[in-house]
Structure 1
Amino acid sequence: MKKLLLCILVSASLIACTSKETKTEGEDPNMDLYRENAKVVDAAFKAYSKKDLKEFATYQADSIKIHSAQFGGKDMNKAEFLDRSANIFKLINNINVKVTLLPGVDEVTLKPDGSVRAYVIWSADYVNNAPASDLKSYFSLKLDKDHKIYDHDEYFDVSGWYQVVAAAPSK
């Protein structure tokens, strides 16, 4: 009887310690691609919030196209995007981001395609003592086979942000 009880306990322990497959049956295989790409996007936002452009650049493909939210803004390349970010960093400190990532979908099939959608709420301290405010934004990010962002669409109120930054006198 003791041996039977011991066997049952050992079996139960082995079953409990066995890792379970996180993929559900019938799940779209592009969800695995999305999960890998989402890790890259999350790391990119974290690097940006630390003002670490060197690390941030590692998540961007050299051929990246950034489609600016600015009215009349032209598409940017990687160098222009990093330059814009460096200029923004001169205006803000203590960047905080709250990021919600969701899978992007194919426009025709509406099934996951491996891309990443990011809903982001930014907050920061302005170097000119402008009043604190949150900036809500949306990004649609496509990544290549090397998990580098090659297409970056952004949506947020750029002009409103500029008005806040320009509103208060400098320190």
Structure 2
Amino acid sequence: VAKLVIGIVIGALVVYLIMNSSEDAQTSTNLSESPAYVANKAVAEAMFQAVIDEDMEAWAATVSDTVKYTSPSYAPGTATGAGTKEDWMKDTQRLVDNYDDFSIENAVYLPGLDGQTAEPNGSVRVYVHWNATHSSGVKVDPWFYYNFDGFEGGKITTYGAFGDAGGVMNNVAAASAGE
């Protein structure tokens, strides 16, 4: 009798799975084809390209005037996520002023999901392996993680960057001092 019950349960489960195969389920392939994600990824890529080109005007065109910015370094006003477009622009300008030969060695873009529903929400996550040369001649190649959690009207409204900014600065200082 137990074997019969187990057989019926397994059979019912197989029938259920076959009849309820989820062709509508989001897959990693169609998540990355979401129109909102594709459009927002293009904005993020344009922002990175503006940094590579050291074009602050093009950079500013990708960022909302009301952006909420979280810096990878603990600058006043930004470590809490309360940074503004002006804060972000100052940080980006400091990079452009102090580094040359920006390039991206590797970038891995991922579509974001809503934390409650696990549905695609158009946000963009990206891991970037940068290469640049400090004005002292020191070459740096850090990895940073970026989250672009909000977009409106083709502009970034919520942004965070995470990486070892202090480590990069310490490496430049040590190399510049001949250590």
Report what 2:130 is aligned to. Answer: 122
Separation in 2, partners of 1:107, 1:143: 14
Post-superposition Cα deviations, 1:116-162, rounded to whole Å, max 9, x if no partner, equal 001111111111122x2311010110233312101111110011011
Instruction: Report the CA distance shift for 1:77/1:35 in structure 2 as closer, same or farther (over 3 A).
Output: same
Instruction: Report the CA distance shift for 1:35/1:127 in structure 2 as closer, same or farther (over 3 A).
Output: same
Percent of pairs with identical residues: 26
Q: How does 1:112-151 map to 2 (within 5 A)?
A: 112-130=120-138, 132-151=139-158
**Does the 8 A contact of 1:91 with 1:165 survive in 2?**
no
Query: Are 2:24 and 1:26 aligned?
Result: yes
State which of 60, 64, 71 in structure 1 corresponds to 2:63.
Answer: 60
State which of 100, 112, 120 in structure 2 corresponds to 1:93.
Answer: 100
Number of residue-to-residue matches in the alignment: 145
Report what 2:110 is aligned to. Answer: 102
Instruction: Report the CA distance shift for 1:88/1:150 in structure 2 as closer, same or farther (over 3 A).
Output: same
Q: Offset at 1:168?
A: 3.1
Post-superposition Cα deviations, 1:52-110, rounded to whole Å, max 9, x if no partner, equal 11101100000001111224753221112111211122221000013221101111222
Normalising by structure 2, we get a TM-score of: 0.73
Normalising by structure 1, we get a TM-score of: 0.76
State which of 38, 43, 47 in structure 1 corresponds to 2:41.
Answer: 38
SS in 2 for 1:102: strand
| Structure 2 gap segments, 5+ residues each | 1-22
**Does the 8 A contact of 2:140 with 2:168 survive in 1?**
no
Separation in 1, partners of 2:99, 2:25: 42
SS in 2 for 1:161: helix
**Does the 8 A contact of 1:68 with 1:74 survive in 2?**
no
Q: Offset at 1:27?
A: 6.4
Report what 1:18 is aligned to. Answer: none
Q: Offset at 1:39?
A: 0.9
SS in 2 for 1:69: coil
Aligned CA RMSD, in angstroms, stands at 2.1
One-letter amino acid of the counterpart of residue 50, structure 2 = A
